[in-house]
Amino acid sequence: MTYTAPVAEQRFLLKHIVKMDELSGHNVFADATADTVDAIVEGIAAFSEGEFAPLNRVGDTVGAKWSPDGVTMPPNFREAYQAYVRDGWGTLTGPTEYGGQGLPFTLATIVMEDLGSANMGFSLCMMLTPGAVEALKHHGSEELKRMWLPKLISGEWTGTMNLTEPQAGSDVGALKTRAEPRGDDSYLIKGQKIFITYGEHDLADNIVHLVLARLPDAPAGTKGISLFLVPKFRLNGDGTPGAFNDARCVSIEHKLGIHASPTCVMSYGDEDDCVGWLIGEENGGMRAMFTMMNNARLNVGLQGVSIAERATQAAVAYANDRVQGAREGKPAAILKHADVRRMLLRMKALTQAARALTYYAAGQTDRGSIGDADAKARADLLTPLVKAYGTDVGVEVASLGVQIHGGMGFIEETGAAQHYRDARIAPIYEGTNGIQAADLVGRKLGLEGGAVVERLLNEIEEDAGESRWLVDLVSACRAVIEEMGDMDMDERLVASYPFLTMLSVAVSGWLMALQYDVAEEEEGDPAFLTMKKAAADYYLNQVVPEAIGLTAAAMAPARVYDVPDEAFAA
């Protein structure tokens, strides 16, 4: 169950898909020199392989443990986390004025990919804190930034996102947590939240919760929600953690996977005063929270890539080692058999395509952050694709990994089952993939009156060259968009998921075609370039035609509302 970071693949994408040299040419990212980028790629590879990967199994088998005194993480997790802080991995994208390095988000994407492949459950702790930093950076007061950002950026303190309540899951507007003004600049927070990732742990000295709550007399629904910073410990005058703030974990969930990640039920102000501070404007919580959530959605899509990479590596190793049957009269490893090779090539192609999509979106996010309005709009369009398609790929590839292991894949000791179990949460949290599809057709297709998606489709079409399946898929996407114009909202929502897959595959196929062309011309490791072309060819000639086949599902009437509610129980 070893892990080797895909360094060659990452470098290839940075050069040819992200075009990191263009980013580093901008004065904002001038520190992202070739030497710095190389040091980060090599350094996080060594760190994730050496510090996080060896803890993946114990994280799954031992897991996080709750007691009335708090949550205890598995053995050696605190030491590994402190090494992460010591080496400065959390500081990459933080603003320089508060101790960050101000580097591109794309480089943090590489860090999170490797950590997630090495140990997905553990990496969730590192995934959420940067989102809290972004929310504070964009919406917090100068005083809040000064008090809280330096330790969050360094990782000495961790951050969480508190949206969900028992009666308010995807319907955030139904939340009931209250915030009462105290007469100064603080508020008393009272309520309960569920599904709070790393809401409690023993890795760091403080935990900074970003909590959605309602002020007195706030409007109903999402328009009456505000965002508050609620620490586990209040701060002393010197900025060190002081009095306990009655933000307590009352239980953790028993889950299918990611056992190393404590999923907490949090109680605020149940036994004593719990104090919070407003982030942004009153009743402006959703705007501030979406700053954090959009960051998290890209990183969750990346988790699909991470687990797909780990599952693929395990499957390749097993296929090379497992002797079963014969070929040309001699005992053969199962790698020699056609169906196993088909599955392995599919795993490779899907993983590379989802990674390319995610890295490309990260690069567009970086360009948007330095003033490129077209890139920002494209990143907004791509975010639901990355989250949904990346996580769907993670589940499919992990499932194929179990299949390649055969009966041994159903046995926990091989580790293949853990990858499948861990992957299954990713299409659910940070907005289910159905919500991502609804966001795509309900909001993102309408960006600039449809011009954002049209520019993207035009670019794909121009670069498609001789890839007839890709050209046909672009045409199919356009046909669905046009058909949606005549649909009512219920019909569009039914069509949204197959269409999201179609558009995701079109963008991913475009990026794979570009990589094939580069691999044809570039000199380098023959094995890497051979697989790059093989994976791209498989994707363009197998996966892209499958996506075209979804056209009927996206355009034909599904009539899901013609079925009476009681018939579903028949």
**Catalytically annotated residue among 134, 200, 430, 491:** 430
Q: What is the amino acid identity at position 68?
A: P
Q: Is 64 left (phi over 0), alpha (psi -120 to 50) or beta?
A: beta
* Dist CA 8 CA 528 (whole Å): 8
Count Cβ atoms below 10 Å from residue 345 Cβ, excluding itself. 17
Longest dimension (CA), the chain: 85
What is the Cα–Cα distance from 330 to 326, expressed in whole angstroms?
Answer: 5
Q: What is the distance between the alpha carbons of residues 348 and 542, in angstroms, rounded to a whole number?
A: 13
Nearest partner of 536 among 486, 487, 470, judged by Cα: 470
- 430 included as an active-site residue: yes
Say if CB 318 and CB 404 are below 8 A apart.
Answer: yes
Number of Cβ atoms within 10 Å of the Cβ of 102: 16
Task: Tell me the three-class secondary structure of 60-115, residue by residue.
Answer: HHCCCEEECCEEECCCCHHHHHHHHHHCCHHHCCCCHHHCCCCCCHHHHHHHHHHH
Classify burial at 449, counting beta carbons within 10 Å of its beta carbon; exposed 0-12, middle 13-18, buried 19 or more. exposed
Query: Which of 159, 182, 162, 158 shows the shortest CA–CA distance to 172?
Result: 162
Please give the distance of CA 365 from its chain centroid, rounded to a whole number. 14
Report residue 267 as tokens: 């109680």
Angle at 148 between CA 143 and CA 151, to 5 degrees: 145
Tell which residue, 242, 250, 252, has the closest CA to residue 275: 242
3-class DSSP state for residue 204? coil
- Give dist(CA 154, CA 158) in Å, integer: 9
Q: Which two tokens stand for residue 504?
A: 């995701």
Q: Please, are residues 536 and 348 in contact by the beta-carbon 8 Å criterion? A: no
- Residue the block writes with tokens 């056992």: 259
End-to-end CA distance of the chain: 45
Structure tokens that stand for 139 in this block: 């919406």
Active site residues: 430
